[in-house]
Each structure stands twice: as C-alpha cells, then as structure tokens.
C-alpha cells in the first residue's frame, strides 16, 4: 500500500478532490462504481438496468460492469463518501492487491523475496497502469496471479480443491473487466497448452476432470453477467467490427513506449506520443528476463515457461487484425467481437517480463550465495527492486482538482418518480460531453436521458433530433413525450433558455446556481 500511495503522489494529499475528472472515461468509471454500490443496496436483481440512456434497459452492459472493483468502493459510497474518494480508495486497493498477490505467488515459486518484490512492483506499477489512472479496471489484476498459481497446483496435483480455487480466482478476475476476462481466459488456455505432459497420458484421468470442474465454476459465476452482454448484443447490435478494432490495434512502437519520467524525459517522449499504448517495462526487468531465458529457466521451469508463452501470445494479440489469423479468431471466438482496444493485450507481456525477470533475479542471487557472496546477493536484490520502481515512476502524477457535484442536484433526489434530461442535449458525436451529467447523477440516481458509455443507442440519436429546437415549445412537447419530468439547463450553453422558460406556465423553477437551473415540466 505504501508503494501505491507513493506511485500515485500527490493523490494521497487530497483523496476526496484530486482525480482524473478531466477524462470522460474517469467520470464514467466513477459513475459505474457508484451505480453498482447503489444497485446492490436497492435493486440487486436489476443491477444492469442503470439510470443512463433512459428508457433503454441493461445500460450498464454498454461498458464495463466493474462488479468486483465496485465491491471495494461500495463501503465508501454507503458511508456517504463521494465518487472521487470512492474511486481513489478503489484505485489504491487494486494497485496494492495486484502487487501483493503477484509477490506472494512469485515467492512461492522462487523462494526469493527480492524476486517477489520485483515481480509485484512491475505487476502493479508499470507504464500501462500508471498511464491509465482513469481506468479503474486496469488497477485490478490481483486475481490473475492467484489463478495461475491455482492452475499450476491443479496441473501438478489434479486436486478438486485446487480446481475450485482455480475456478474461483479466475472468475473473480474475469468479473473485474471484460478485457481482463479475455486476458484471463487466454492466459489459462496458454498455461494448459504449454504443459501437455501434466494432463495427457496417464495423468489425463486425474487432471482433466479437475480442469473441467474449474471451467464449470468459472462458467457458473460469470454466466449471469455474460448473459446481459449477450442480450445487449442481440438487442442493440453491439459488436465491434474488425475495421473498428483495427483503429485500436497495437504496433511495434508500443513495446518501446513508456510514460515513466526517467525514460520519457530523456529519450522516450517522441516514441510515447507516437504509440497508442505504452508497454515498455524498463531496462532492468528486460535484462533480468533475458537472464531467465539465457539460463534456460524460461524453458525448464513450467511456471516460467507458462509466463513466457503468455507474454508472447499477449504481444501477438495486441496487434489485432494486423496479426495473421486474427480475423478467424474474431469469427470463432464470439467474445472477441466485444473487444475494441486490443492494444491492451500488451499488459500480458508486461506482466510476463516481470515474472521472468523475477526468475532471472532469483537465479543470479542463488549463484552469488553459492559462491559465498551473500552481501552481493542482497545488494543485487535491493538494487533490482529499487531500479524497477524508479524506472516506472510517473510522480508527480497529473491529477485535477474536483470541486464536487453541485449541491443543487440534491433537489432532484427529493423529487419522486423524476425522469431527467440535461440540456442542451449534446449531439451523438459529442456524447462524451454527457460524462459530467452521468457522474452528477450519483447525487440523485434518477433515470437520465443523457448518457456516456462504450456504446450510444439509437434512442439517444432520436432524442437529440427531437430536442434540437430547445427551448422551443416543440422541444418541450418532445421532452414530455419522452417521459421527462425535470430538466437541468446549462445556462452558459443556452443563454436564451431562461427567459423563454419563464414564459411557459407548465415549466417551473425547482433549483438553481450560477451555471445551471433545474425545472419541473408538467
């Protein structure tokens, strides 16, 4: 946790106000965490029927559901904390747990705490996570190391108990994020395929039923959530085309790009600006990973071999449609049709370099200790852990000050059966402008015609066309037909609206501040 606080400095100095609220995705993810907490307390069986893009059903499935990360933020919301504080607490927990679980697993495999700290540090504090502060799901990779540990145990023992652990940990990781669902599935499949001796021949009768049990547990826990996305895909046609995926595909430049200060400010700035994702782990972990490869550990040790294969497969998948054969995978693996930013698969090689680097460090330290150079072994361990953290730090991080959700939104919370629209209604091409309204809805949770997510439904386009003449009488009638009972008018964007609405007897002022006014529509 101390490293999480240090790597996100100065966030700890003002956790209730500093955030990435300058990012539409950051605001969206704060809303998602808040919605899950709200729904779990009030309507758990209708979790996916979120309040945005009214009257569409299952709007939570237009983006990540973030159910597992939201379990960490829910107590903050239930205790009265705001979305920024809840988000930041969840961010720290995710980073700390990701580093901690990776360290525990690598220590189990190597018996070396320095190697464990190196792998844990890079798992949590790498250029991918530290350049994606607006994406809370990127901070929560804590169950993947545990799932791969359980896979190793299952392949070795064939134990049903280990299989149950595998299914549980994998499902928890899959429920952190849709992207991580796919990455977890890929990692586990690769982990099985590169160890055929553990599950073929005489061991098949013991190991294969256990693997089937683990798959069954994953399916049982994930199916209710995947079903919601399947229904949205069927109802809305929410599918990422190959051409759309190609726009978010990775490139070779990504693997030498980093936002880390020490590299960015000396030689990497132009490379970072050219890349669409940062995936350079640093010089130290790369050198140590090469030691593991050169010493043969990456081939002989099944755990190291698993991570080497995961890294190579993840790197290949990050190229998306540019990878020969990806189009076939896209057709035969339906879940890939919901994945857009395939460049994010580069997280897997980042993690792999960390684990292989840990094996390399443990090998070097063992050789030094065998020669009686214990102090040198300790010095090497300390230096490696320090260098990995220094190479990846981005402090001071660039957060912005959040002034809080305007108090006037509390007036909507007191209005029974309110249905809200914020006006002027942004055009579909600028739907991200709605992100602030989406976040503000955490103060009242009333159905909202506005919305921002990974998908914009046709009904939003229809509403935009119907409300274009606001504040004209035709637009007010259109608002009524859409079920709207309350409107939030942003005065600076519609300077003529206040005077026009004052002349309408069916429209009454409910609350106001210097920038916006809330009206009832009868």
> Is there a contact between 481 and 69 (Cβ–Cβ < 8 Å)?
no
125 phi/psi in degrees, rounded to 5:
-115, 65
Q: How far is CA 312 from the centre of its chain?
A: 22
DSSP string, 66-118: -HHHHHHHHHHHHTT--HHHHHHHHHHHHHHHHHHHHHHHHHHHH--HHHHHH
Distance CA 488, CA 517 (A): 6
Residues 6+ apart with CB under 8 A from 53: 59, 62, 448, 449, 450, 451, 453, 456, 457, 459, 460
- The per-residue pLDDT for 243 is 83
Those residues of the chain that have pLDDT short of 50 are: none
Q: Locate all alpha helices (DSSP H) within 393-496, ordered by sequence.
A: 410-413, 435-440, 458-467, 473-481
C-alpha 320/C-alpha 313 separation (Å) is 11
pLDDT for the residue numbered 495:
85
Phi/psi zone of residue 519: left (φ > 0), alpha (ψ -120 to 50 degrees), beta?
beta
**d(C-alpha 224, C-alpha 219), whole Å:** 9
DSSP string, 309-324: HHHHHHHHHTTGGGST
Q: 210: which 2 tokens?
A: 């256990």
Query: DSSP readout, 177-206?
Result: -HHHHHHHHHHHHHHHHT-GGGTSGGGHHH
User: What are φ and ψ of residue 312, in 5° steps?
Assistant: -65, -45
- pLDDT score for 238: 80
Cβ atoms within 10 A of the Cβ of 373, count? 14
Hey, is 45 helix, strand or coil?
helix
Overall size of the chain counted in residues: 522
The pLDDT tens digits for 227-270 are: 999 999 889 888 888 888 888 888 889 999 999 999 988 989 88
Q: What angle do CA 51, 55, 58 make, to 5 degrees?
A: 60
DSSP 8-state symbol, 489:
E
Q: What's residue 329's pLDDT?
A: 86
Query: What's the confidence (pLDDT) of residue 455?
Result: 92
pTM, whole model, 2 decimals? 0.94
Which has the closest alpha carbon to 86: 174, 4, 142, 17? 17
pLDDT value of residue 326: 86
Residue 304 is given by DSSP the state H
Q: What is the pLDDT of residues 19-46, one digit of tens each?
A: 999 999 999 999 999 999 999 999 999 9
CA distance 128 to 345: 10
**What's the helix, strand, coil split of the chain in %, to 5?**
65, 5, 30
Q: What integer best gives the mean pLDDT of the chain?
A: 94
Asked whether the beta carbons of 355 and 152 are under 8 A apart, the reply is no
Query: Is 197 buried (19+), middle (13-18) or exposed (0-12) by CB count in 10 A?
Result: exposed
């Amino acid at each position: 946790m101390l490293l999480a606080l240090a790597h996100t400095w100065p966030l700890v100095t003002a956790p209730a106000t500093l955030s990435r609220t300058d990012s539409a995705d950051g605001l969206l993810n704060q809303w998602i965490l808040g919605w899950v907490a709200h729904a779990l307390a009030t309507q758990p069986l209708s979790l996916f029927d979120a309040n945005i893009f009214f009257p569409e059903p299952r709007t939570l499935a237009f983006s990540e559901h973030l159910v597992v990360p939201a379990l960490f933020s829910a107590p903050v919301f239930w205790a009265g904390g705001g979305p920024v504080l809840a988000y930041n607490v969840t961010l720290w927990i995710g980073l700390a747990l990701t580093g901690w679980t990776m360290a525990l697993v690598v220590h189990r495999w190597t018996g070396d705490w320095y190697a464990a700290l190196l792998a844990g540090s890079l798992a949590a504090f790498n250029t991918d996570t530290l350049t994606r502060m607006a994406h809370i799901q990127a901070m929560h990779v804590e169950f993947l190391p545990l799932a791969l540990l359980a896979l190793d145990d299952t392949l070795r023992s064939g134990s049903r108990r280990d299989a149950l652990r595998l299914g549980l940990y994998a499902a928890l990781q899959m429920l952190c994020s849709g992207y991580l669902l796919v990455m977890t599935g890929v990692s586990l499949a690769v982990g099985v395929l590169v160890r055929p001796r553990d599950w073929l021949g005489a061991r098949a009768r013991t190991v294969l039923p256990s693997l089937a049990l683990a798959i069954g547990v994953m399916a049982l826990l994930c199916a209710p959530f995947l079903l919601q996305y399947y229904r949205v895909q069927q109802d809305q046609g929410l599918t990422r085309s190959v051409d759309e995926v190609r726009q978010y595909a990775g490139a070779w430049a990504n693997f030498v790009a980093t936002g880390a200060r020490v590299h960015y400010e000396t030689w990497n700035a132009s490379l970072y600006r050219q890349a669409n994702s940062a995936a350079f782990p640093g010089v130290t972990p790369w050198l140590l990973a090469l030691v593991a490869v050169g010493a043969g550990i990456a081939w002989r040790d099944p755990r190291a071999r698993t991570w080497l294969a995961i890294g190579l497969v993840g790197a290949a998948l990050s190229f998306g449609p540019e990878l020969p054969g990806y189009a076939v995978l896209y057709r035969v693996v339906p879940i890939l049709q919901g994945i857009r930013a395939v460049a994010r698969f580069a997280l897997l090689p980042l993690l792999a370099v960390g684990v292989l680097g840990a094996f390399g460090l443990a090998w070097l330290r063992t050789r030094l200790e065998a020669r009686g150079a214990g102090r040198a072994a300790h010095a090497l361990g300390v230096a490696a852990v320090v260098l990995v953290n220094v190479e990846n730090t981005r402090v001071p991080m660039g957060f912005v000050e959040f002034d809080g959700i305007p108090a006037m939104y509390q007036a909507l919370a007191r209005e029974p059966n309110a249905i809200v629209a914020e006006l002027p209604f942004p055009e579909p091409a600028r739907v991200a402008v709605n992100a602030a309204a989406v976040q503000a809805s955490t103060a009242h949770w009333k159905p909202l015609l506005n919305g921002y997510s990974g998908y914009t439904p046709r009904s939003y386009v229809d509403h935009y066309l119907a409300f274009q003449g606001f504040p004209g009488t035709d637009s007010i009638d259109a608002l009524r037909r859409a079920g709207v009972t309350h409107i939030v008018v942003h005065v600076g964007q519609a300077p003529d609206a206040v005077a026009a609405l004052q002349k309408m007897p069916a429209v009454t002022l409910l609350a106001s501040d210097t920038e916006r006014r809330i009206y009832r529509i009868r």
